[in-house]
Structure 1
Amino acid sequence: MKKIAVFLLTSLALQGMDAQNFIQAYKTRADWVTQANITANLQEFAAFGIKKTGTPANTNAMNWIKNKYLSYGYAAGDIVENPFPYGNGNSKNLIITKTGTLYPNTYVIICGHYDTIVGPGVSDNGSGTSIILEAARILKNVPTEYSIKFIHFSGEEEGLLGSKYYTNNVAYTGATRNLDIKVVFNIDQVGGQIGNNNNTIICERDTGGTPSNNAASNTATQELAACTGLYSPLQTSISYAYSSDYMPFEAKGYTITGFYEYLRSENEHTTADTFANIDPVYVFNVGKAAVGALQHFAVASTSTNALSTDESSVQKPVETVKVYPNPAKDVLTVELDKKVRHFSVEIHDMSGNLVLSSENKAKIDTSGLENGVYTVTIKTDTGNISRKVIIEK
């Protein structure tokens, strides 16, 4: 992401808190972010290694992200792969759309990149990727007035290639604005450094570039900071936006804001950007702030009835689940808590295709599957959980 950064920080304290009032439903949903999910996402992201744009590892990471959305209940029609040229081939952005109830053609974009340049990039930007996934999981069945686009960009490390392509070929074509975007909310490098006092997050606003959108960005960023204080334990500080995937949108006059870690880890673009060196609790807290702010920007339902329905249908982690052996050969065993009476299992390949499903079977015949990596999703009355499994014969 940002190779050189000198932050001009202004203590926000309670500034801008009147821009957003506390909403209990938003807080409740922000508290649905789980440390277990954040940690699992970070570790699974790390397992793909260096995800340089255009490489097989980059493609595998994108397919993993896609499978996450399918496991959350998003339909294949909600998911669009947006290829862009890179070298002798291409890479892909991944766009998932949740349609709004009142303003279906106006979008709140929450975005971050999934490509890495040297190491596994767990902070830059597995942290943003993990948070966007958790926000999508939680808000799957929550009505929002504005549509939401969850976007995972590739090519950021090579010069914002994916976001430039999307902005110039989808959001805009030539001088024609195709997408009405309320705000672009970018999350990049929020992993922190383990051992630091990671109690503050930077909220980024537009201070240059196209001047006509600076005031709107300042307002959105103060709202982001206010939501952070309302729905997470983090303090906030204001800095400027630059050198990440919101910038192509800014150049077209769209309103942007974003999150970036306050105390620099200095591990970005190195082999030290690993799960062992980041602070997963910090990512968890930033996730709560992001879910609160995303509900504010998209105007999520605040009704008690909607909250009750959403709480029962949100994908929650199963208490106890074991999937073994891994690697598996001809039989895969799913072991659940004894109190779980009904469950189903779906196995998807890395392209998101459903290749096997079963009901209430602890022993699953995988002899018909080819060697490779698969996502196994176990669905119960209390929620869904996914595991990555290797078939090796």
Structure 2
Amino acid sequence: MKKFILLYSIAFSSSFFAQTFIQSYQNRVNQISQTNINTYLTEFADLGVKKTGSVNNNNAFNWLKSKYISFGYSEDQLSENAFIYQGNTAKNLILTKTGTKYPDTYVIVCGHYDTIVGPGVNDNGSGTSILLEMARILKEIPTEYSIKFINFTGEEQGLLGSQNYVQTVVNATSPKMNIKLVFNIDEVGGVAGKTNDTIICEKDTSSPTSNNAASATITQQLMNCVVLYSPLQTKLSNAYSSDYMPFQANNEVITGFFEFNESTKPHSAADTYVNMDPVYVYNVGKAALGAVQHFANADTTDLSTADCPPEKMLESLKIFPNPAKDFLQIEMMNYNLKDFSFMVTDLNGRTLIQTKNEKQINISKLSSGIYLGTMTVEDQKLTKKIMIKK
């Protein structure tokens, strides 16, 4: 997406800080990994030009699906929404995380994964990476409202994927799908070499106007979350020409993120990793995760400070994906615990990898086969079988 930016000056009232800082939200925000963001961006770049309906576009769809599966989501939580573009099938990918209190009311978090001309690392590998990282972290976190993480294609050809989704899913559901809000993340990679410390928060100023006031309220809450949970500053602007607009025209409530320093590289072969700022993507991800937790009413229990003995933490241990190829991800109930170690051995007991306080383990140098992974927390140990398949 490229847009004309109309900035608004804001006179903050006393209600600006009405939202309360929630420590458990911050603890999850702190789990966003710069390493993961970098990996997503570089893998996205390696997929090449992802024009809607192309082989590369389909490869990107499969790459996204494999990522969600590797986070522990099941196949029945994933769905596709297909349409025909220039004689080829193109597909939106939808991950649904069901809410505990309002399962039939949805917070939609979206961004497009198609690109034109270049690899599109900023437009929109940046938003795609943030969606992936948020989905990873929220996997085991209860939310009162359901969340749909939607990776749209066809954005660059005129919002084709999001239009199709609104027509064939939102309005075709009986009764019509109940959407709390739509939060769109598009082109948030910043500009290499610049100070990227501000994010634009977008509100609805278009017709129909009946949803504009609610959008203004939600966007103010989004700006509050940026300040509460990230180091970024905010600017307010209008929503324009991205995947929230078919929802807006459908009278849904929308908001969104867009970079403040607007790159000149999107829609060119120069939209590459070296021309954007991955640290900025990391910080925007923090702001986004804080906001999504707020919008979906995420659980406020702070497991990081809970009185949880080591043996209980080990009972909750998850090592995935399994089989794995290049990386293992570790999750435990007390995910802010600092003192733990992980060891990979072969079946003869030889130690091949040993790490301390790392939640992502690089296994790329190991050959295909069966190994043992041992997690140690204080004086407690748990060993699980690991399969590596190249």
Report TM bin, short chain: 0.7 to 0.9
1:258-294, Cα deviation, whole Å (9 max, x unpaired): 0000011111111111001110000000000000000
Counterparts of 1:272 and 1:183, CA distance in 2:
34
Q: Cα–Cα, structure 1 residues 17 and 314, in superposed 2: closer, same or farther, change >3 Å? A: farther
Q: Cα–Cα, structure 1 residues 188 and 240, in superposed 2: closer, same or farther, change >3 Å? A: same
> Aligned ranges for residues 1-393 of structure 1 at < 5 Å?
1-2=1-2, 4-11=3-10, 17-173=16-172, 178-305=176-303, 323=326, 337-338=353-354, 362-364=366-368
Aligned AA (1:267):
K
- Contact 1:16–1:225, Cα closer than 8 Å, also in 2: no
Structure 1 residue 210: Cα displacement: 1.2
- Contact 2:325–2:389, Cα closer than 8 Å, also in 1: no
- Contact 2:127–2:185, Cα closer than 8 Å, also in 1: yes
Aligned AA (1:363):
S
Aligned AA (2:238):
Y
SS at match of 2:123: helix
Aligned AA (1:283):
V
Aligned AA (2:302):
T
Aligned AA (1:95):
I
- Contact 1:78–1:97, Cα closer than 8 Å, also in 2: yes
Counterparts of 1:323 and 1:258, CA distance in 2:
34
- Contact 2:7–2:235, Cα closer than 8 Å, also in 1: no
Counterparts of 1:166 and 1:216, CA distance in 2:
22
Counterparts of 2:11 and 2:143, CA distance in 1:
28
1:12-40, Cα deviation, whole Å (9 max, x unpaired): 66875334210001111111101000010
SS at match of 1:120: coil
Counterparts of 1:189 and 1:90, CA distance in 2:
25
**Which consecutive unaligned segments of at least 5 residues does structure 2 have?**
328-350, 377-387
Q: Cα–Cα, structure 1 residues 144 and 204, in superposed 2: closer, same or farther, change >3 Å? A: same
Counterparts of 1:139 and 1:248, CA distance in 2:
27
Counterparts of 1:32 and 1:305, CA distance in 2:
13
Counterparts of 1:15 and 1:282, CA distance in 2:
29
Aligned AA (1:218):
A
Give the ranges of 4+ consecutive aligned residues of structure 1 lying more than 2 Å apart after TM superposition.
6-19, 304-318, 321-324, 335-340, 378-382
Counterparts of 2:213 and 2:352, CA distance in 1:
53
- Contact 2:70–2:320, Cα closer than 8 Å, also in 1: no
Counterparts of 1:307 and 1:160, CA distance in 2:
44
SS at match of 2:122: helix
